Structure 1
Amino acid sequence: MTAENSALRTRLDRATAHLETPVAVVDLAAFDANAAALSARAAGKPIRVATKSVRVRALLDRVLRRPGWSGVMAYTLPEAIWLVRSGTTGDVLVAYPTVDRAAIAELTADPDLAAAITLMADSTEHLDVVDAVTPAGRRPEVRICLELDAAWRPAGPLHVGVRRSPVHSAAQAGALARRLVARPGFRLVAMMAYEAHIAGLGDAPPGQALRGRAIRAMQRRSLRELVHRRTAAVRAVREHAELEYVNGGGTGSVEATAADPSVTEVTAGSGLYGPTLFDAYRAWRPEPAAFFALSVVRRPAPRIATVLGGGWIASGPAEKARLPVPYLPAGLRLRADEGAGEVQTPLIGAAAEGLRTGDRVWFRHAKAGELCEHVNEVHLVDGDTAAPAPTYRGEGYAFLG
């Protein structure tokens, strides 16, 4: 173990010694350093914080007080309403289309909410849902963001990237914009294109040099194509509406996306916590800031230490990269035949022999905000002290739970 990691383990153990496990923490020094680094990489363009990657209002408030950070990107309309009513923000972009009729009714009944929240649309069907709840003329204008598909389609049916909006070309974006602005009771104010295959795909997967080179080549070519297509799409949409902002990117592409002249703001969130998936990026790797500790409860063999719990698996494809990683003390790993278990996780490796019943092992989650779905509070570590802050779950909310 490096001296730096040893000091971190000592500091985390000391700050949380009075707490029982499982315990989740966010190291504020690393969190703030990551926020500053992301802002610098955005090169003057504002960063909208992705709430699903944080899920702690105290930390959303903290980053929004920093220069260079403005507004939030929520993942559901009920969450957006809650964040506005709680005073966290007055500027929310809901990243995914909503068909939540109760939330739409609440939004359209309150002019202040309607002025603060922008809904996502990639089809007029999304507007139909709003009108079915509260017809135009009986509500304030509803703010709309048009989503452009950022995936790369190099030839024929080949599709590189996630499946999001059906609007791919500049012509399709312009045509949809024309239909959106023609609908009474709506106002087209923004456009978004999220390049998930760049922002959310590590370009240096450990032990896979050939795959890494292929990913980097794909990302270079697809980014060139996207910049050209997004610029044309923004131009086509602006023929029909005055856009307040054009959003793009994520933690893994902040610098590249910010360099696109057609983009006026970028989004980031995961980089504040520094989960393990971002260890596979070359351009920038955030400092690990979020951890959770589990206690050793049995020693089934001299070189095995078993902790209670541990099966905090990240969403996405079922693969090794989605498993939590034992981080401190260094020199531990999961057993291939058991992995991270719901009730127990046996650990092996050089450090296992030195662990005793009652010792703590600090883990890192594969993704960022999903850690918060397992605990009611995270403890914000400042030096050798820790203060509790409720997660969304701790405040009684599980917006996609």
Structure 2
Amino acid sequence: MTLAPPARLARYGAAFADLDAPFAFVDLDALWVNADRMLARSAGKPIRLASKSLRCRAVAALILERDVGFRGQLTFTLPEALWLAEQGLRDLVVAYPSADRGALRDLARLTAADPAGAPVLMVDCVEHLDLIAAAVGPVQAPLRLCLDFDAAYWLGGGRVRIGAKRTPVRTPEQAVALAREIAARPGVTLVGLMSYEGHIAGVGDRIPGSPLKSRAIARMQGASYRELRARRAAAIAAVGAVADLEFVNAGGTGDLERVAAESAITEATAGSGFYAPHLFDNYAAFALEPAAMFALPVVRRPGPGVVTALGGGYLASGVAAADRAPRPYLPPGLALDPQEGAGEVQTPLHGRTADALRIGDSVYFRHCKAGELCERFDRLYLLAGDRIVDEVPTYRGEGRTFL
């Protein structure tokens, strides 16, 4: 399914004719196309869902219920993982270390009751182990841990780092040292290893109007991946000699085909690719269908060639820049005002189609990233064809705002 903008606009107009904006929705037809394309790129390697990108239990459940290559969830906080476990979910891995002592004690209780099904906690240093021990004390069953291995690319003899500043565990020797420290502590056990190359998976290599920058990014990513693949394989083999690893996780929406080719990796991760925010328009290796959007009502007409929508200042995280802003998607031919951008209470829009819009019409926007959209709306309308087939709460709609 690849619909031209006019056909999409007609579908959305029919589906939401009786609904007043602002609202957010997921186009299920597009989401399933994206899911199939990601599975094809992962080449049979299971994909774990990144919950921070979805932030909606109902959408995650729909994907996991397909049972065609998706498994478990990579959560973003320990309280979130515990909440999901309360709902009966298993196979949960917390992607980031936790310093929440109360949640750690709750995890210890849950692990005692369900040693094999309790969430797995991320660690990358002895300090994490000390904090866990101090928070939970003696345990009835050891807490299950995952070791986070650095995937950043270092240039200039280690003076320049390209990639997220995550874990300090960079070498196979450091990974083995931490694995041995975990093995020496009776209150914890190492069951997984994770390594996320965000500078490859989360950075597009096809920047519109910037061929030189695009080539530079592609070269950097290729060189980084060649270095990482060898170093990561050595770390996995070394840690595997110390601990019985149940899973090795890596990757993201942007590099599933690379992770699929690494025999040492047992599973990939993806989340944003289901919604396909505009950040993922800039990749040469694949294409996705816009699936998650929000609608704003036109409420003013300041002058010829411009209309003003209500709200819209839903900026994505990261370094503050123009590419973090949402983009008007439908109807085509609209752009943000360069002086006002996407505003807290109003968003002026310029373009050739502005004069054709009436007060009360909806403009459909795409967010830059995926998960943060659901922090702005308490529900998502699920669309199939030209009909709303369900209305489901986001995390926010369930009264849960973890970050």
Q: Of 387, 391, 394, which residue of structure 1 is paired with 2:394?
A: 391
Partner deviation per Cα, 1:237-267 (whole Å, 9 max, x = no partner)? 1121011111000000111112111111000
Q: Distance in 2 between matches of 1:3 and 1:98?
A: 43
Aligned residue in 2 for 1:109: 109
Q: Distance in 2 between matches of 1:378 and 1:229?
A: 42
Aligned residue in 1 for 2:374: 372
Deviation at 1:180, TM superposition (A): 1.1
Q: Distance in 1 between matches of 2:19 and 2:54?
A: 22
Aligned residue in 1 for 2:148: 147
Aligned residue in 2 for 1:63: 63
Q: Distance in 1 between matches of 2:247 and 2:3?
A: 45
Percent of pairs identical after alignment?
52
Aligned residue in 2 for 1:347: 349
Aligned residue in 1 for 2:124: 122
- Give the TM-score normalised by structure 2: 0.96
Q: Contact 1:274 / 1:285 at 8 angstroms: preserved in 2?
A: no
Amino acid at match of 2:296: L
Aligned residue in 2 for 1:95: 95
Amino acid at match of 1:164: R
Aligned residue in 1 for 2:262: 260
Deviation at 1:225, TM superposition (A): 0.5
Q: Contact 1:291 / 1:364 at 8 angstroms: preserved in 2?
A: yes
Deviation at 1:5, TM superposition (A): 1.1
Alignment length (residue pairs) = 397
Amino acid at match of 1:269: G
Aligned residue in 2 for 1:11: 11
Deviation at 1:345, TM superposition (A): 0.5
Deviation at 1:205, TM superposition (A): 1.4
Deviation at 1:314, TM superposition (A): 0.4
Deviation at 1:133, TM superposition (A): 1.7
Deviation at 1:3, TM superposition (A): 7.3
Deviation at 1:217, TM superposition (A): 0.2
Deviation at 1:382, TM superposition (A): 1.1
Amino acid at match of 1:339: G
Amino acid at match of 1:213: R
Q: Of 183, 190, 193, which residue of structure 2 is paired with 1:191?
A: 193
- Note closer, same or farther for the CA distance 1:3–1:68 as it changes in structure 2 (3 Å cut): closer
Deviation at 1:65, TM superposition (A): 1.6
Q: Contact 1:25 / 1:291 at 8 angstroms: preserved in 2?
A: yes
Which structure 2 segments of 5+ residues have no match? none
Deviation at 1:113, TM superposition (A): 5.4
Q: Distance in 1 between matches of 2:120 and 2:341?
A: 41
Secondary structure of the 1:153 match is strand
Deviation at 1:317, TM superposition (A): 0.8
Aligned residue in 1 for 2:75: 74
Deviation at 1:109, TM superposition (A): 1.4
Aligned residue in 2 for 1:25: 25
Deviation at 1:15, TM superposition (A): 1.2
Q: Distance in 2 between matches of 1:10 and 1:82?
A: 39
Secondary structure of the 1:99 match is coil
Q: Distance in 1 between matches of 2:383 and 2:140?
A: 45
Secondary structure of the 2:120 match is strand
Aligned residue in 2 for 1:269: 271
Q: Distance in 1 between matches of 2:371 and 2:55?
A: 6
Aligned residue in 1 for 2:161: 159
Q: Distance in 1 between matches of 2:123 and 2:36?
A: 32
Deviation at 1:155, TM superposition (A): 2.5
Partner deviation per Cα, 1:128-152 (whole Å, 9 max, x = no partner)? 122112213x332100000100001
Q: Distance in 1 between matches of 2:36 and 2:292?
A: 16
Deviation at 1:154, TM superposition (A): 2.9
Q: Distance in 1 between matches of 2:370 and 2:216?
A: 26
Secondary structure of the 1:388 match is strand
Q: Distance in 2 between matches of 1:152 and 1:167?
A: 13
RMSD: 1.2
Deviation at 1:52, TM superposition (A): 0.5
Aligned residue in 2 for 1:327: 329
Segments ≥4 residues shifted beyond 4 Å: none
Aligned residue in 2 for 1:280: 282
Q: Of 314, 317, 323, which residue of structure 2 is paired with 1:315?
A: 317
Q: Distance in 2 between matches of 1:269 and 1:3?
A: 22
- Note closer, same or farther for the CA distance 1:192–1:338 as it changes in structure 2 (3 Å cut): same
Mean Cα deviation higher: 104-113 or 361-370: 104-113
Aligned residue in 2 for 1:44: 44
Q: Contact 1:84 / 1:113 at 8 angstroms: preserved in 2?
A: no
Amino acid at match of 1:383: G
